[in-house]
């Protein structure tokens, strides 16, 4: 029996910047998703979870969207195979205390725990960064959620008590110790769904804003160009302004943490 786990995360600063090739500063939380895998050989995969509700039974190579949590499981095995990794079936039991739909990256915790289990069971040569990118691909290509890679990178490489600075273009990663203080996360009661709703719309709006500005991503626009951003049609002007100024705030937050200056203003 192989048992693996991965944490959820909170993002300290850097909202809607990851899918714009920008900067983020998440940190993992104590809550984790755990996967117990009993290798069976062959191609049959049997997965159950009391917390997520229900089970799925499928064959490797027959992964398809079913509009539920099994999509994240099947996405992981599908992406491993598409990347050329040889995997075999097994029986998996998933347990988790990461709240689902609360913006704490429960899907990324599931993906990373799943991928870690198959990596160990099948002796796959995959480093932690590549593991995270496979998790992102699972969510984008099979689940249908156009996410950036922040959640998976934070779950795969983050450490408790430290923030993880991520440059989503270069994949530069830097661990930054956090001060000795309690981190309080408040549940707003709003359900979070990357595969539908405003998230998908805002990503499309950011892509359109970048196209109109003539850049590959909004990451390429600086605060010195906010006057140009202001000439975009609404609501693209607001979307672009947020990303540009939020990237600047992330970099300012990193400098403040490294300098131990928690009172520093982050206004760009």
pLDDT in tens, 9-24: 999 999 999 999 999 9
Q: 218: which DSSP letter?
A: G
Residues 21 and 116 reside in one and the same domain: yes
Residues 16 and 135 reside in one and the same domain: yes
CA dihedral 169, 34, 139, 100 (to 10 degrees): -100
Predicted local distance difference test score (pLDDT) of residue 57: 94
Residues 96 and 225 reside in one and the same domain: no
Where residue 149 falls among pLDDT bands split at 50, 70, 90? very high
109, 33 contact by CB (below 8 A): yes
DSSP letter for each residue of 166-214: EETTT--EEEEEPPS-PPP---------TTSTHHHHHHHHHHHHHHHHT
Can you tell me the mean pLDDT for 222-230? 97
Classify residue 126: in a domain, yes or no. yes
Classify residue 184: in a domain, yes or no. no
Catalytic residues: 151
Nearest to 151 by CA among 102, 208, 204: 102
Q: How many residues are listed for the chain in this entry?
A: 268
Classify residue 183: in a domain, yes or no. no
Where residue 102 falls among pLDDT bands split at 50, 70, 90? confident
Question: Would you say residue 267 has pLDDT above 80?
Answer: no
Domain that holds residue 145: 2-177
Can you tell me the mean pLDDT for 172-197? 78
Where residue 208 falls among pLDDT bands split at 50, 70, 90? very high
Residues of the chain with pLDDT > 90, as a percent, come to: 81
Residues 146 and 208 reside in one and the same domain: no
Residues 52 and 81 reside in one and the same domain: yes
Residues 169 and 217 reside in one and the same domain: no
Predicted local distance difference test score (pLDDT) of residue 159: 96
pLDDT, tens only, 43-92: 999 999 988 888 999 999 999 998 889 999 999 999 999 999 999 999 99
Nearest to 34 by CA among 111, 98, 113, 103: 113
250, 261 contact by CB (below 8 A): no
Main-chain phi, psi angles of 174, to 5 degrees: -145, 125
Tokens of 229: 């951003």
11 forms beta bridges with 26
Residues 66 and 154 reside in one and the same domain: yes
Provide the CATH number for the domain around residue 14: 3.30.230.10
* 26, containing H or E segment: strand 23-39
Classify residue 185: in a domain, yes or no. no
Classify residue 186: in a domain, yes or no. no
Classify residue 10: in a domain, yes or no. yes
Q: 162: which DSSP letter?
A: E
Residues 219 and 129 reside in one and the same domain: no
Classify residue 232: in a domain, yes or no. yes
Where residue 6 falls among pLDDT bands split at 50, 70, 90? very high
Predicted local distance difference test score (pLDDT) of residue 194: 58
3-state DSSP call for residue 95?
Answer: strand
Residues 153 and 226 reside in one and the same domain: no
Predicted local distance difference test score (pLDDT) of residue 193: 61
HSE of 86, CA atoms in CB hemisphere, 13 A: 3
Predicted local distance difference test score (pLDDT) of residue 196: 58
Residues 212 and 135 reside in one and the same domain: no
Provide the CATH number for the domain around residue 251: 3.30.70.890
Mean of the per-residue pLDDT values for the chain?
A: 93
Classify residue 96: in a domain, yes or no. yes
Question: Would you say residue 121 has pLDDT above 90?
Answer: yes
| Number of domains comprising the chain | 2
Where residue 199 falls among pLDDT bands split at 50, 70, 90? confident
Neighbours of 93 (CB within 10 A): 17
Where residue 197 falls among pLDDT bands split at 50, 70, 90? low
Residues 65 and 162 reside in one and the same domain: yes
């Amino acid at each position: 029996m192989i048992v693996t786990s991965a944490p959820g995360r909170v993002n300290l600063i850097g909202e809607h910047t990851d899918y714009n090739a920008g900067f983020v500063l998440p940190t993992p939380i104590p809550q984790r998703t755990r996967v117990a895998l009993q290798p069976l050989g062959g191609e049959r995969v049997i997965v159950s979870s009391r917390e997520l509700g229900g089970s799925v039974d499928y064959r490797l190579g027959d992964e398809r969207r079913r509009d539920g949590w099994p999509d994240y499981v099947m996405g992981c095995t599908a992406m491993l195979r598409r990347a050329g990794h040889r995997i075999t079936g097994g029986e998996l039991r998933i347990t988790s205390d990461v709240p689902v739909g609360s913006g704490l990256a429960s899907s990324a915790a599931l993906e990373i725990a799943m991928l870690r289990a198959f990596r160990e069971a099948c002796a796959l040569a995959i480093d932690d960064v590549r593991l995270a990118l496979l998790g992102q691909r699972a969510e984008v290509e099979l689940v249908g959620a156009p996410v950036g890679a922040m959640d998976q990178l934070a779950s795969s490489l983050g450490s408790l008590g430290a923030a993880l600075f991520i440059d989503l273009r270069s994949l530069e990663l830097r661990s930054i110790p956090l001060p000795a203080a309690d981190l309080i996360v408040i549940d707003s009661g709003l359900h979070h769904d990357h595969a539908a709703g405003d998230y998908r719309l805002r990503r499309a709006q950011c892509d359109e804003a970048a196209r109109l500005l003539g850049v590959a991503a909004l990451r390429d626009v600086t605060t010195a160009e906010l006057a140009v951003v202001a000439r975009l049609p609404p609501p693209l002007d607001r979307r672009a302004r947020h990303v540009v100024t939020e990237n600047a705030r992330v970099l300012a937050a990193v400098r403040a943490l490294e300098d131990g200056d928690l009172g520093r203003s982050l206004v760009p």
